[in-house]
Amino acid sequence: MSEYIAPLRDMRFVMQELAGLDQVVSLPGCEEASPDVVDAILEEAARFAGEVLSPLNRVGDTNGAKWQDTVVSTSPGFKEAYRQFVDNGWNGLGCDPEFGGQGLPRLLSTAVSEMWKAANHAFSLCPMLTQGAIEALMIAGTDEQKAAYLPKLVSGEWTGTMNLTEPSAGSDLAAVRTRAEPVGDGTFRIFGQKIFITYGEHDMTDNIVHLVLARTPNAPEGVKGISLFVVPKFLLKADGTPGERNDAYCVSIEHKLGIHGSPTAVLAFGDHGGAIGTLVGEENRGLEYMFIMMNAARFNVGLEGLGDAERAYQRAVTYARERVQGTEVGVRGGPKVPIIKHPDVRRMLMSMRARIEAMRALAYVTAAAQDNAHANPVETERRKGQAFADLMIPVVKGWSTESAVDIASLGVQVHGGMGFIEETGAAQHLRDARITTIYEGTTAIQANDLIGRKIAREKGATILAVIADVRAATAQLDGDLAGLGARQSVAVDALERAVSWIVANFAGDPKAAHAGAVPFLHLLGIVAGGWQMGRAAVIARDRIAAGDADPFWSAKLATARFFADHFLTQAPGLAESVVNGAAGALEMADESF
């Protein structure tokens, strides 16, 4: 079975040419990311992903995590791989140097994260949740909490979790019923149960730091009455080391469709007198703080979609090159050929590859915007970066993961009947990818956030500025790229039509607007992805014109053309669904379903 090989050439191209690595590393605090440092990190991450994590991907799928009497054992090899991961400093790559991190740009850590997720989705979930906990404590934690927990979380010696969901409170967090009873000195006893807690229990570290949503006794109902608490698996002794076991136990783990190597825990807090926790920030602002974790997690789940898609594509290409079946179309009496010669197999592979390149470009450009939002010395540039990132994170999450499910499914199709057989490995990528459209907010939740908070609330200001940028880039698609430019022009017109309709109708007809939210998310993903593919095509054309014969550039032109011909052409239909599709979704009586 083939192992993952990081697509370093495309990663470097996107980072440098599309996301503007040189500009990012010039930002205050990012100066350490010299070209030599970036190259060395990418090369070493690729080696670790391919040689250490990738071989454990199948192991995690077939063995899975095991639960027995509140104790969870991770899949064979995971514990040892995690120790290498921590010892090599990977966990603190983008974290604040004040707490032991390396402070490298989000753009670089995004490329590295893609490798972890592509090589071993289940393994990568553990450090992803830890990163979310770090971000929440950095922004809302007390000085004491930061000193006690952040150095260990940044190093990876301890891991973190986010505890939102309950049996009766899924996406509707207003229904959270876990309670926190004060016992003095800022300490609370936590009582309740949380479900779907990724790496809520495991054997890879000697402590787990749970961030838990709960209600204090006098809290108002609804989301305005939720507070956030730090609840460690082991309480800390005076010297900061793990001491007494806290009253937070794993009572089971879920049996899932995919990501078997990642233990998804049911955690019981307070069955033996109350789990000790401390308040993060102010009472009743817990959901606000948890969204810090959730927003970071949503971007990273988008990278999971990208990683799963890349791995499915690599496996499908390997199989298509090796599987000999049928004669080449149009060659009467010819020899049997590898299936990569067959037109529809090529169409499927191009459909996979073109979207992956678009997804990667959009994610990395969004990461660079986050770097500018955080570190650009010019306030207007910080605001611009934040607005762009806020707009695109739901797209990176929603469009990339929905695309990943289809791409992984195409990977099975390329394998034919063998794709349905677990031993080929193709099915695992489909099973693993399927959760990405659901957790950290379903595709509809991303789409509703997109049309409501990110478009209607500001009357489309940010997205209209993006549309102007797309139109300016489209003007560069001239000469032999004029056909691609024509496709992109029609697509951006369709996007603008849909934006205008949402801005005009969101307040007066919210049901109709929400009925078209997911088609709109796909529409924006396709146009934003096409925008980046068009930029790449211009660069490739110019390199070829300058005499560069590297086949990388002709491949870039091919994928850009395919994306335009097969995906940008979908934009008018999606816009029509946004503008006129609500009646078909809403008119049928409930009892007729």
**CA dist 522 → 55, 403, 444, 578 (Å):** 34, 9, 11, 10
The mean pLDDT of the chain is 96
- 423 within domain boundaries: no
pLDDT band at 185 (very low <50, low <70, confident <90, very high): confident
Contacts 24+ apart (CB under 8 A), 92-101: 92/154, 92/155, 92/156, 93/41, 94/131, 95/131, 95/134, 95/154, 96/138, 96/150, 96/154, 99/146, 99/150, 99/151, 99/154, 100/151, 100/154, 100/155, 101/154
Contact at 8 Å (CB) between 361 and 534?
A: no
Percent of the chain with pLDDT over 90: 93
Contact at 8 Å (CB) between 118 and 307?
A: yes
Task: Please tell me the distance from the alpha carbon of residue 151 to that of residue 133, in angstroms, as a whole number.
Answer: 12
pLDDT band at 294 (very low <50, low <70, confident <90, very high): confident
**CA dist 104 → 130, 290, 471 (Å):** 17, 24, 33
Q: Is the model's pLDDT at 168 over the cut of 90? A: no
Contact at 8 Å (CB) between 360 and 262?
A: no
pLDDT on residue 135: 92
Contact at 8 Å (CB) between 214 and 176?
A: yes
- 577 within domain boundaries: yes
- 448 within domain boundaries: yes
pLDDT on residue 293: 74
pLDDT on residue 321: 97
Task: Tell me whether residue 440 is one of the annotated catalytic residues.
Answer: yes
Marked catalytic residue, from 166, 310, 440, 496: 440
**CA dist 248 → 59, 144, 212 (Å):** 29, 22, 11
Look at the pTM and tell me if it is higher than 0.95.
Answer: yes
**HSE on the CB side for 547, CA within 13 Å?**
0
- Kindly report, residue by residue over 220-245, the tens digit of the pLDDT: 988 889 999 999 999 999 999 999 99
- The range of the structural domain enclosing residue 531 comes to 443-585
Q: Tally Cβ neighbours within 10 Å of residue 503.
A: 20
Q: Is the model's pLDDT at 292 over the cut of 90? A: no
Q: Is the model's pLDDT at 578 over the cut of 70? A: yes
- Compute the average pLDDT of residues 518-542: 98
One-letter identity of residue 61: D
Cα-atom radius of gyration of the chain, to the nearest Å? 24
Higher-confidence residue of 332 and 577: namely: 577
**CA dist 581 → 232, 577, 591 (Å):** 48, 4, 21
**CA dist 101 → 14, 107, 152, 210, 292 (Å):** 25, 16, 10, 21, 19
- 493 within domain boundaries: yes
- Compute the average pLDDT of residues 11-23: 98
- 546 within domain boundaries: yes
pLDDT on residue 276: 98
Q: Is the model's pLDDT at 495 over the cut of 80? A: yes
Beta-carbon contacts of residue 440 (< 8 Å; ≥ 6 apart): 294, 297, 298, 301, 397
pLDDT band at 344 (very low <50, low <70, confident <90, very high): very high
- 540 within domain boundaries: yes
Q: Is the model's pLDDT at 150 over the cut of 70? A: yes
- 242 within domain boundaries: no
Beta-carbon contacts of residue 105 (< 8 Å; ≥ 6 apart): 24, 25, 27, 30, 33, 94, 367, 368, 371
Query: 209 forms bridges with which residues in the sheet?
Result: 160, 232
- Kindly report, residue by residue over 366-394, the tens digit of the pLDDT: 999 999 999 999 999 999 999 999 999 99
Residue 79's Cβ-count burial label (10 Å; 0-12, 13-18, 19+) is middle
Q: Is 185 left (phi over 0), alpha (psi -120 to 50) or beta?
A: left
Contacts 24+ apart (CB under 8 A), 349-352: 349/313, 349/316, 349/317, 349/320, 349/414, 350/558, 350/559, 350/562, 350/566, 351/407, 351/410, 351/562, 351/566, 352/309, 352/312, 352/313, 352/316, 352/407, 352/410, 352/411
Q: How many domains are there within the chain? A: 1
Tally of helices (H runs) and strands (E runs) in the chain: 20, 14
Q: Tally Cβ neighbours within 10 Å of residue 184.
A: 6
- Compute the average pLDDT of residues 394-411: 98
Residue 217 corresponds to which tokens in the numbers above?
């006794």
- 192 within domain boundaries: no
Q: Is the model's pLDDT at 170 over the cut of 70? A: no
Query: 252: closest CA among 200, 289, 213?
Result: 200
pLDDT on residue 422: 96
Task: Please tell me the distance from the alpha carbon of residue 474 to that of residue 485, in angstroms, as a whole number.
Answer: 6
